[in-house]
Structure 1
Amino acid sequence: MGAPSTELQELIELLNSENPRIIQPACEYFSGLSGTVDGLNFIIAQEDIFKQLMKFCSFENSDIALLALKTITNCAQNENGTYFYMACDKQHFCTKSLFKSFENGDERIIKSSILLIENITRIEAGARHVHAFIEDSKLLESLLKIFVSNKPQYQDLSLIFGNICQVPGVRKLFLKNEGEIFNKMLPFLSHQNASCRLGAANCVKNCCFETDYHQWMLKDDSILAAILLPLAGAEELTDEENDSLPIDVQYLPSDKERESVSDIIVALVQALHKLCSTQMGRDALRKYNVYVILRELDKATIERDGNENMTFEIHNVIQILIGDDAAECDDLNKLEVPPEIEKKLTEMENA
């Protein structure tokens, strides 16, 4: 798609107007344009227009701000759009205004700003871009404070926390001081809101990449119980099996419902997989008979349509737990996998 240079110039002039009545129709045009692939690709090739729309994300006129937020959010659904956002936001002027908008009383602006940040942080480069702005742990702590207030307009902050934990520096912030921030995310694994649960699950999964913290994570059964509880159903287990589980997962009531969102289940199983990276982690998961929960989870989900990836992840962990450990390798992250095997595993995972 291409716009004639005269038409493009006219649109730029409309966006540069100081009159909201002139700006709004132009923003409406770009908002509609961003809903198509060709339109989106056109917008992320126009730096002047994109930067002006970014400025409007914090415009005093909320209707214009919402249109600009929708346009940039649509663009950031595309990986190229996210990279273009970062290129236009080198000084974090837009990212700063998005976080500033959380102080806005307009719930629509707050939710739209959170959605845009969530889109930007889905890829690791975007997560690093946002981390560079919120590097100060005080800002992170203030975000967590408004998140745990449990107000509906802030619930999707959980998705941002899960995304930015792709960055090692963020994971260390979450895990420092005996997991002061990390521990506050655990109750949200069982929250009634699916976005809260998904963000918390991704946060836990990503933090489990930090193998230096596994000993702390598994010093007792509390963190493991928080991960396992959503994966458990109301199956009748033997007394021996129940007694071997973390105490909060023992003898669950007959009306206990298992997590139903596939992405959340996969993230939690992947967290268990990462905890299996070290010998100490594998020993702990065996001690608390995690296999029993995964066995029942597999039975309950294996026949669901489109569940191949979930089944793959569950079977990965089960095979580790019931298999023999490589005596010469304590940390599986350091285990060298032959190229032909690695290729086959990748093909299976992407199938």
Structure 2
Amino acid sequence: MTSELEDLVGFIAHPTPQIRKLAIENLVPYSTTQQSIFKTDQLLPVKHLKFLVRDEQSIAEHALTILINLSANREFLEFIATDDKFLGVILDIISDPAEKNANLLSMLLANLSKWDGLKSIATRKQKPAENLGSDDLVLNQLVDLFVKGMDGTYNKHADFDYLAYLFADLAKHPEIRQYFVNPQEYDGVIPLNKIKVFTEHKSDVRRKGVASTIKNVAFDVPSHKEFMDEDGINILPYILLPIIGGEDYDDDEAMAMLPDLQLLPPDKQRDSDPHIIQTHVETLTLFTSTRGGRDLMRKISVYPIIRETHLRVNNEDVQEACDRFVQVLMSDEEDEASSYPQLEASVGQAQIEAQGEVESDGEDDKIVEV
């Protein structure tokens, strides 16, 4: 059976499109169950797959699906992610407003960010798509795609939600964190201000990725003042709104809260995903790593919100995150160093795996996290 599959792999490079299409379509399931067949001849099949992402739409769709699945394996990941020319091809194709496989390209980029070397994208430049209105810095192009492309507004075939996972993983690196907190020359906007507005978006993927991106950027302690400046990033309303419900608070507690959190309707629901709530609470904990951050948390009544979250979210990880926040907030101010929160960076969720026949409309039920 293995030899037959290896023969089938060879047909993905066949000059006849119909044969290529049939071969690659039948190989998709094996990209998760028998990945070894793609390792023959020094990963030659993967070289062919990288070429096929520029083939006609259905062949390219299957090629991308297989590459997404293979990139869960470290050997394949490095082989794909270190191909600078291929990365340029992906970045060029994904910006095409008519590209039907743009969501799959977003997923592949998210997986490639598991390779630390992709942080070089911080300085990578190439010509932007004319319709995008961005400059030649690739990171700006991807952020603009994420913002302008939501819900099919830039490309009717894509929502670019999975780019949020790319940003989250990239933000583990200091140079990427600096990118997210500094205004860009071409539009004068801080990139984090572009994506913070999605903390309450309807897409679970988008919310998860944005929450993790904010948390990872918040590991840059010197930028905390900018984070909390109402005329800067002003991140706190975008973190607190997803974790607050419609509970009643004492008048003193409510009046001290940020204006955006006052007079919320009684049916206000906190985020339905406990992982997202946990991530936001951990971000708040990072902000308590300085005296100024702790003072501000107390001033705007963050504690009552965390108290109610602890009581009402029946999730051990969320409750532990709330406990950690309270311990730091209530710590002895004379020992600043002991208050520094020991947290780990969030990754862009799990490795993305494309299952079977992946439709080009990017429906979430075609994707699982492993």
TM-score, normalised relative to structure 2: 0.78
Matched, 1:154 2:131: no
Query: How far, CA to CA, are the matches of 2:110 and 2:82 in structure 1?
Result: 18
Matched, 1:233 2:245: yes
Matched, 1:209 2:214: no
Matched, 1:35 2:40: no
Query: How far, CA to CA, are the matches of 1:143 and 1:58 in structure 2?
Result: 20
Matched, 1:327 2:322: no
**2:208 maps to what in 1?**
198
Q: Does 1 or 2 have the higher relative contact order (CA < 8 Å, sep 6+)? A: 2
**1:54 maps to what in 2?**
50
**1:176 maps to what in 2?**
182
What per-residue deviation string (whole Å, max 9, x for no partner) do you get for residues 69-112 of structure 1?
A: 11111122x2xx24422234423232222222223455541111
Query: How far, CA to CA, are the matches of 1:265 and 1:299 in structure 2?
Result: 13
Q: CA deviation at 1:11?
A: 3.9
Structure 2 CA distance for partners of 1:94 and 1:30, relative to 1, 3 Å: farther
**2:300 maps to what in 1?**
288
**1:163 maps to what in 2?**
169
**2:66 maps to what in 1?**
71
- Say whether the 8 Å CA contact 1:158–1:199 is kept in structure 2: yes
Q: CA deviation at 1:239?
A: 1.0
Structure 2 CA distance for partners of 1:70 and 1:91, relative to 1, 3 Å: closer
Does the residue aligned with 1:35 lie in a helix, a strand or coil?
helix
Query: How far, CA to CA, are the matches of 1:333 and 1:259 in structure 2?
Result: 24
Q: Which amino acid aligns with 2:176?
A: V
Q: For residues 270-281 of structure 1, what are the structure 2 equivalents within 5 Å?
A: 270-281=282-293
Query: How far, CA to CA, are the matches of 1:321 and 1:66 in structure 2?
Result: 50
Q: CA deviation at 1:189?
A: 0.8
- Say whether the 8 Å CA contact 2:122–2:176 is kept in structure 1: no
Q: CA deviation at 1:140?
A: 1.7
What per-residue deviation string (whole Å, max 9, x for no partner) do you get for residues 105-132 of structure 1?
A: 55541111111112232x3xx2x33332
1:255 to 263, 267, 272: 267
- Say whether the 8 Å CA contact 2:122–2:179 is kept in structure 1: no
Q: CA deviation at 1:316?
A: 0.9
Does the residue aligned with 2:83 lie in a helix, a strand or coil?
coil
Query: How far, CA to CA, are the matches of 2:248 and 2:318 in structure 1?
Result: 23
**1:143 maps to what in 2?**
142
Query: How far, CA to CA, are the matches of 1:226 and 1:158 in structure 2?
Result: 16
**1:337 maps to what in 2?**
none
Structure 2 CA distance for partners of 1:43 and 1:263, relative to 1, 3 Å: farther
Structure 2 CA distance for partners of 1:144 and 1:89, relative to 1, 3 Å: closer
**1:94 maps to what in 2?**
86
Unaligned runs of 5+ in 2: 125-135, 153-157, 343-370
TM-score, normalised relative to structure 1: 0.82
Measured on the aligned residues, the alpha-carbon RMSD in Å equals: 2.6
- Say whether the 8 Å CA contact 2:218–2:224 is kept in structure 1: yes
Does the residue aligned with 2:28 lie in a helix, a strand or coil?
helix
**2:356 maps to what in 1?**
none
What per-residue deviation string (whole Å, max 9, x for no partner) do you get for residues 49-88 of structure 1?
A: 12211221222x1111111111111122x2xx24422234
Q: CA deviation at 1:301?
A: 0.5
- Say whether the 8 Å CA contact 1:278–1:330 is kept in structure 2: no
Q: Which structure has more helix as a fraction of its residues? A: 1
- Say whether the 8 Å CA contact 2:254–2:301 is kept in structure 1: no
Q: CA deviation at 1:331?
A: 6.8
- Say whether the 8 Å CA contact 1:57–1:65 is kept in structure 2: yes
- Say whether the 8 Å CA contact 2:81–2:112 is kept in structure 1: no
Q: CA deviation at 1:174?
A: 0.7
**2:349 maps to what in 1?**
none
Structure 2 CA distance for partners of 1:326 and 1:15, relative to 1, 3 Å: farther
Query: How far, CA to CA, are the matches of 2:118 and 2:107 in structure 1?
Result: 13
**1:26 maps to what in 2?**
23
Does the residue aligned with 1:154 lie in a helix, a strand or coil?
coil
Query: How far, CA to CA, are the matches of 1:293 and 1:116 in structure 2?
Result: 37
Q: CA deviation at 1:205?
A: 0.5
**2:320 maps to what in 1?**
312
Please say which of residues 157-166 and 196-205 is displaced more in the overlay.
157-166
Matched, 1:120 2:112: yes
Structure 2 CA distance for partners of 1:333 and 1:273, relative to 1, 3 Å: closer
